[in-house]
Structure 1
Amino acid sequence: MKYRHILNILGASLLFTGASIFAQRPNAVPENKYGLKVISNQASYAATIALDSNQRMVAVKDYFSPVLTNWYYARPGNFTGQVLYQNPEVLVRLPVAKALARVQAALRQRGFSLLFYDAYRPYSVTEKMWKIVPDERYAANPAKGSGHNRGIAVDVTLADLATGRELAMPTGFDDFSEKAHHDYMQLDSAVIANRLLLRTVMQAYGFTALSTEWWHYSYTGNAATDTATRFGILNLPFEAFLRRADQSLK
């Protein structure tokens, strides 16, 4: 009877531990009104990393430097007319950062650099964008989530490595016209060459271009394993991925 009692206690303990672990798994995250599971707290995020270290969000500046940026969404002069976030950081998933480092190395040999307009953005920002422009040609539908919310999409251009000056491209950032499409060819030959160089190098290291926006690239890596559905939607502030406590997850 004594041993049976001990076994019962152990069994209950294991059951409780298992339930606790299950509660922290991504599939335990409650669904929002669209039926999406949006990770919005540190515990749920940490649980995804415990299951797969590639889920970790990292700062690109830890993988190469300098990191050139032009944060349109951190000031009111963007397509929404409002500041969408403050104190942004170029954050992406771990395998995306490694791929971007390879892109940067390849560009550096040519005297160029990536320049980031946007990378990770919280899901709440996608919701704000949609309220202002509810058009999937120009903004991500929050019912589906965005590659930016998943930490696998970046908006980039090319810049001169020595000066930081942006190279000539078909349009400015977030120009929602046919001129921003990759197949638009009524352009100066130098502009076409710049667009092609960006696309060629990005694709060589696992990124897929969005046909309607020359600046938007999503990381697909090995399509058999690295898909958008592998990475959950995040709604955490930039600071959440930069806290010292989170560095223990490296």
Structure 2
Amino acid sequence: MKVSCLIFFVLFSLFAIAQSTPIPKKKLVVVSSYNQYLTSIKTNSDNELIEIKKAIPNIKLDIRYATNNNFMQQVMYKQARAFARKPVVESLKKIQKELNKKGYGLKIFDGYRPYAVTVEFYKKASDKNFVANPSKGSKHNRGCAVDLTLIDLKTGKEITMPTPYDSFLAAAAAKYKNVSPEAKKNRDFLIAIMGKYQMNVLENEWWHYDFSGWKKFDLMDIPFEKL
């Protein structure tokens, strides 16, 4: 009986120690070295950040963060360019091709976002639910997220969606029900065709799409000027 009590006491003590010992936080790795980035491409060509407009010439760009027309109300990018990892761009090519056959096209608002910009967003955003926490980084920082909408090829104008881009309204959610039938139809059409090519909508932003293989890519903090 004494032996059993002793074993129990030892096991209980070990359990208590384990519970009280803080779990070490995993250090956030952010690649800021351009040479390190180039080395990663040699290891795996999928790591390349490709300029979307050069890969898909007929795609439209509206890089809001290179202007004052954004929720920050200030210029965040020195250049109005959009990049994404190679597999993401390959998906966008297929999506654009299918959309063009239906009379539509993509307009890109944002792609790869340097980590330093995400830090600034989090500092100043009034609603933290719509910006990534720098402690984890963003899929934009990995080059695996794009913000976009649909345009009519004939007019070049955006088609009706539940909200404007970067809206903090509840209607911005991907499954928000209280929207017009036209907006719902267009939103759901975009979500479906993006999902078909491994680009999954973010729950609270109908315009934001994450590449399904994002986990294998590093967070990046390399400015557009170097790419």
Task: Quickly name the TM-score band, shorter chain normalised.
Answer: 0.7 to 0.9
Deviation at 1:70, TM superposition (A): 1.5
Aligned to 1:216: 208
Matched residue of 2:132: which SS? coil
TM-score by length of 1: 0.78
Contact 2:59 2:96 (C-alpha < 8 Å) held by counterparts: no
Aligned to 1:89: 81
Aligned to 2:3: none
Identify if the C-alpha distance between structure 1 residues 74 and 140 changes in structure 2 by more than 3 Å, giving closer, same or farther. Answer: same
Matched residue of 1:113: which SS? strand
Q: Which of the pair has more CA radius of gyration?
A: 2
Return the match for 1:74 from 66, 89, 93. 66
Aligned to 1:52: 44
Letter in 2 for 1:192: K
Return the match for 2:215 from 216, 220, 229. 229
Contact 1:180 1:213 (C-alpha < 8 Å) held by counterparts: yes
Q: Does 1:207 align with 2:203?
A: no
Q: Distance in 2 between matches of 1:181 and 1:233?
A: 25
Matched residue of 1:137: which SS? helix
Aligned to 1:148: 140
Deviation at 1:62, TM superposition (A): 3.0
78-87 vs 133-142, which moves further: 133-142
Cα RMSD for the two superposed structures: 1.6
Query: How many pairs align?
Result: 203
Contact 2:122 2:132 (C-alpha < 8 Å) held by counterparts: yes
Deviation at 1:86, TM superposition (A): 2.0
Deviation at 1:136, TM superposition (A): 3.7
Aligned to 2:167: 175
Aligned to 2:7: none
Letter in 2 for 1:112: Y
Post-superposition Cα deviations, 1:109-161, rounded to whole Å, max 9, x if no partner, equal 11000001111111111011011027541111111111111000000000011
Letter in 1 for 2:157: R
Letter in 1 for 2:135: A
Aligned to 2:10: none
Q: Distance in 1 between matches of 2:44 and 2:52?
A: 19
Aligned to 2:225: 239
Return the match for 1:165 from 157, 162, 167. 157
Contact 1:34 1:143 (C-alpha < 8 Å) held by counterparts: no
Q: Distance in 2 between matches of 1:128 and 1:111?
A: 38
Aligned to 2:107: 115
Q: Distance in 1 between matches of 2:33 and 2:222?
A: 7
Identify if the C-alpha distance between structure 1 residues 194 and 92 changes in structure 2 by more than 3 Å, giving closer, same or farther. Answer: same
Q: Distance in 2 between matches of 1:99 and 1:105?
A: 10
* Structure 2 unmatched ranges of 5 or more: 1-24
Matched residue of 2:133: which SS? coil
Q: Distance in 1 between matches of 2:195 and 2:215?
A: 20
Letter in 2 for 1:79: F
* Structure 1 unmatched ranges of 5 or more: 1-32, 221-225, 242-250
Matched residue of 2:159: which SS? coil
Aligned to 1:184: 176
Q: Distance in 2 between matches of 1:188 and 1:84?
A: 33
Q: Distance in 1 between matches of 2:56 and 2:127?
A: 35
Deviation at 1:77, TM superposition (A): 2.6
Percent identical across equivalent pairs?
A: 36
